[in-house]
Amino acid sequence: MQEQNIQASRDVKFLNCEEIRGAGADLTTQELLDATDAAWRDIRSGKSFGGKSVLSLPEEAFWEVESVAPFKSQFKNERLGWKLSCLYSVNDQFGGVKIIGANAFNRNLGFPRSTSTVLLLEKRTLRLVTVMEGTAMSARRTGTYATTVLDMFTNPRDKLSVFLFGSGPIARSVIECLDFRFADRIEEIVVRGRSREGLEALMADIAGCTTIPVIPASDTTRLPFCRFVITATNARTPLFDDCALHRRAISLHLGGDEVPETYLQRALRSGLVVCDDVATVSRRNSQSIALHFSRRGLSLEQVGPLIGVAELSSSGDLHVEQEGPTCVTCVGLPMLDLYVAQATYKKYRAYNDHMLATRT
């Protein structure tokens, strides 16, 4: 047993996107949602748990470098989001660690805004099993939040429209997941991107792939008619005005400080405010709901439970419809990454075992 574990760690294989794809181990949308559904069940039962640490770097230091200083004006309305993050979790079989390096300037260099690397470990020994390129997996797992929220906070008989702010990989995953699970309930998905080029690239990528009509937008004219609003951007300032929202809007926030104070105040006063995990959102302190409290010298982690801020990760029943708005903020739980990585690795191993069996 001991020798086998040592040998396994010595022979750790790095699985990049090409190798995963070549083995047919990319998860289908069904497999992706099955993995995150299982993660939520185990999170709520206490079988899977973890944490997150983030080191945010000061933008001023980045722009002090002479070679990049001329590009600063490009980011007037967008945060760099320059940070190094570590997400770690365990379940009954595996441990997982995701390392993320992010900087929006990377796009100027032809790289993704953020890059993720996932370490998968055997649970009992916590010895390394494999290292995986996790950037695509990370974006896809984040997109599954849209299905979780829509399922929890709407009536299954309701038909509605969606307004999506963002045109990057997370937005692509949001559309993929909603189209797979709720094509019979969503009348349209209206998408407004940070740039025309990004929006055009997204539309070209999904052309012919969705049942739900996906409508590109250059403004927020359709926003009042969309009950489900999703923000997945790096914006520096709020993306919409409270008065422009549907009265009973359900909003899902996956980015940073994207939400106006007036909307948060209305949601706290007359609606429902939810985080995937209150403590994690509070400590990260980069999203609108956490900043709403910290700017007043308060802590979401301390005040939130006292005023009814709920959690997706709790075992309580949140399947409710509100007369007022429902505001959901998600920072990204590491357990979701673990279950997606675990499912991908098992699919990869099954392929390799099959290929080995056919040779013998």
For 259-298, write each residue's pLDDT tens digit. 999 999 999 999 999 999 999 999 998 899 999 999 999 9
Least confident window among 138-147, 176-185, 228-237: 228-237
Q: Which two tokens stand for residue 205?
A: 């990528």
pLDDT band (50, 70, 90) for residue 319: low
Between the alpha carbon of residue 28 and those of residues 137, 180, 199, the distances in Å are 11, 10, 24
CATH of the domain at 127: 3.30.1780.10
Asked if residue 186 and residue 312 are part of one domain, the reply reads yes
Q: Choose the weakest-confidence range: 22-26, 72-76, 88-92, 356-360.
A: 356-360
Q: 188 and 262 share a domain?
A: yes
pLDDT of 322 strictly over 80:
no
Long-range contacts of 34-37 (CB under 8 A, 24+ apart): 34/343, 35/339, 35/340, 35/342, 35/343, 36/141, 36/144, 36/148, 36/336, 36/339, 36/340
SS3 78: strand
pLDDT higher than threshold 60 for residue 357: yes
266 with 189, same domain? yes
Domain shared by 126 and 205, yes or no: no
Looking at the predicted structure, is the pLDDT value of residue 3 above 50? no
- Same domain? For 198 and 254 the reply is yes
Q: What is the pLDDT of residue 57?
A: 95
What is the reported pTM? 0.92
Quote the pLDDT of residue 5.
Answer: 46
Same domain, 218 and 319: yes
Pair (128, 147) in one structural domain: no
The answer to whether residue 143 scores a pLDDT higher than 90 is yes
Beta bridge partners of 116: 100
Q: What mean pLDDT do residues 24-43 have?
A: 97
Do 131 and 151 fall into the same domain? no
Please report how many Cα atoms fall inside a 13 Å half-sphere around the Cα of residue 120, on the Cβ side: 23
Say whether pLDDT at 356 is over 90.
Answer: no
| Cβ-Cβ contacts under 8 Å for 23 (sequence gap 6 or more) | 347, 348, 351, 352
Average pLDDT, stretch 89-103? Answer: 97
Same domain, 125 and 149: no
> In the predicted model, is pLDDT for residue 2 greater than 50?
no
Cα–Cα–Cα angle for 159, 211, 195, rounded to 5 degrees: 95
Q: What is the mean pLDDT of the chain?
A: 93
The pLDDT confidence band at residue 317, using thresholds 50, 70 and 90, is low
CA distance 217 to 108: 24
Question: For the chain, how many residues are written?
Answer: 360
Residue 82, pLDDT above cutoff 80: yes
Q: What is the CATH number of the domain that holds 264?
A: 3.40.50.720
Quickly tell me which residue has 């300037």 as its tokens: 105
pLDDT at 47 over 50: yes
**Residue given tokens 């020994």 in the structure block:** 125
Per-residue pLDDT, averaged over 95-103, amounts to 97
Q: Are 124 and 232 within one domain?
A: no
Q: Are residues 262 and 127 in the same domain?
A: no
C-beta of residue 172 within 8 angstroms of C-beta of residue 232 = no
Nearest to 253 by CA among 182, 314, 163, 189: 163
Q: Are residues 127 and 163 in the same domain?
A: no
| Full domain range(s) for residue 129 | 2-140+336-359
Q: What is the pLDDT of residue 348?
A: 96
| Per-residue pLDDT at 7 exceeds 80 | no
Domain count, the chain: 2
